[in-house]
Each structure stands twice: as C-alpha cells, then as structure tokens.
Amino acid sequence: MQEIGKTEIWLRKHCPVYNSATKHPFILSIRDGTVESHSFKTWLAQDYLFVREFVPFVASVLIKACKESDVSDDVEVILGGIASLNDELSWFKKEAKKWDIQLSEVVPQKENKDYCRLLGGLMSSDVGYTVALTAFWAIEVVYQESFASCVEEGSKTPVELKETCERWGNEGFGQYCQSLQKMVDRRLLKASDEEVKKAEVVFLSIVEHEVEFWNMSSGN
C-alpha cells in the first residue's frame, strides 16, 4: 500500500477552502454554460498580467531547485513548466485578439496585485525551496482541477471556451501537476516541522488568493 503524502493530508484537511477555489461560481458558470462574456474577458485580461509575474516566480523556484535539490528531475520538471509558460503568453495574446481585448491597456485589479505581491515575497532567497515549490504546485493544481471540471463529461462549457479549459484541464497538465505534487511530498518528508508548517501556511494562502482571483471575474 502506498503511504499517503502530506499534500494529500492538507487537501483533505482544507477541503472546504480548496473546493471553494476549484468549484468557484466563476468556474461553475463556465461548466454550466451560463458564464457572461465580460466575466471571461476580465479573467483573461487579469490572468495575462498574472502569468507575466508568475514567470519570474517560477524562475526563482528553478534557481532554488538547482541549488538545493538533490534530485535532478526536479529541475527538468520546473524547466518544462517555464517552457510552457512561454507558449502560454503567446496564447494569451492570441486569445485576447479574439475577444477584442487590448492587453497593453489592462490595469491589474487589487486582488491580482495582492496575489502578485505574495509571489514577490516567495521569490526572496529567505524562502526555501520546499516552501516555494509547495506554492508553485498549489498555484498549478487549482487551475488544473478547476478547468478539468469544465471539460469532463457532462459539462456544458461553451465551445468558444473549450480551448481555454483544455489548456489547464488536459491530461498532460494533470500529469505535470502530479509530478509537482510528488516533488513536494518528497521534500516534505525530509523537512523540519517548522518548514512543513510554513509550507502548509503558504499552501492555504495560495488557495485563498485563487478564490479572490476568481472573485474578480464573478464580480463578488
């Protein structure tokens, strides 16, 4: 029998807040086909700005992995993540054109700025690899699980939003998130109690910021 990892324990323990991120009204409205186009456009524009800030954060995780990780696979997984972010930024530009959004004119909203400030803090060299990696996994897995629910059988996602949902909801992205989760669990096994506690706090904080981020789009 496989032993259950710390991340799985957190997901169970913090199930209500985690579900409020992955089953947020905005996501549910995509899934049931009732989403308003202005909501989707708000999300798209704000997420483009977020992803631009996310790139240096992931780069900082890569640097920590190069310095601290004794497993070379970690570096490869994170580098793969950076490579797909390059593609993702091009995709955002293409998608913005489709929706008539002028990306150069988009102003970050408060929730977005707050989230990017959290990322900025996690880039500090005072934050260890395990904690930074935990944040990285949490950021990716919320999107993966949210959008996967919009492409699963029975979902009524509008056809023009399918490609967006597939970006994060596809199986490959799911496997990538599982790799990240295994990396986190492996690090947590060797971490001090204090470090494990810090990682859990950061996990929760990320999930809460994800809820706020979706709130921007559903106008809550």
> Rule CB under 6 A: which residues touch ligand HMH?
47, 50-51, 139-140, 143, 210, 213
Residue 102: DSSP 8-state: -
Closest separation in Å from C-beta 218 to ligand HMH: 14
Closest separation in Å from C-beta 164 to ligand HMH: 11
- Is 126 annotated as belonging to a binding site? no
Q: In this structure, are residues 95 and 186 in contact, taking their beta carbons and an 8 Å threshold?
A: no
The b-or-e profile of 162-187 (16+ CB within 10 A means b, else e) is eebbbbbbeeebbebbebbbbbbbbb
Mark whether 194 is an active-site residue: no
- Is 152 annotated as belonging to a binding site? no
Q: Which of 152, 171, 210, 212 is catalytic?
A: 210
Closest separation in Å from C-beta 132 to ligand HMH: 15
Q: In this structure, are residues 26 and 220 in contact, taking their beta carbons and an 8 Å threshold?
A: no
Query: In the complex with ligand HMH, which residue's Cβ is closer, 123 or 139?
Result: 139
Query: In the complex with ligand HMH, which residue's Cβ is closer, 169 or 196?
Result: 169
Closest separation in Å from C-beta 165 to ligand HMH: 13
Closest separation in Å from C-beta 194 to ligand HMH: 27
C-alpha distances (whole Å) from 90 to each of 84, 85, 93, 95, 96 are: 10, 9, 5, 9, 10
Query: In the complex with ligand HMH, which residue's Cβ is closer, 51 or 75?
Result: 51
- Is 208 annotated as belonging to a binding site? no
Query: In the complex with ligand HMH, which residue's Cβ is closer, 162 or 195?
Result: 162
DSSP string, 103-146: GGG----HHHHHHHHHHHHHTSTTS-HHHHHHHHHHHHHHHHHH
Q: In this structure, are residues 52 and 106 in contact, taking their beta carbons and an 8 Å threshold?
A: no
Query: In the complex with ligand HMH, which residue's Cβ is closer, 115 or 129?
Result: 115
Residue nearest to ligand HMH as judged by C-beta position: 143
Q: Which bin fits 45, alpha (ψ -120 to 50), beta or left (φ > 0)?
A: alpha
**Alpha helices (H) along the chain:** 6-13, 15-22, 25-31, 37-68, 72-98, 110-122, 129-151, 162-169, 171-190, 193-218
Please give the annotated binding residues, written as ranges: 47, 88, 140
* Catalytic site positions: 210
Please give the annotated binding residues for substrate, written as ranges: 47, 88, 140
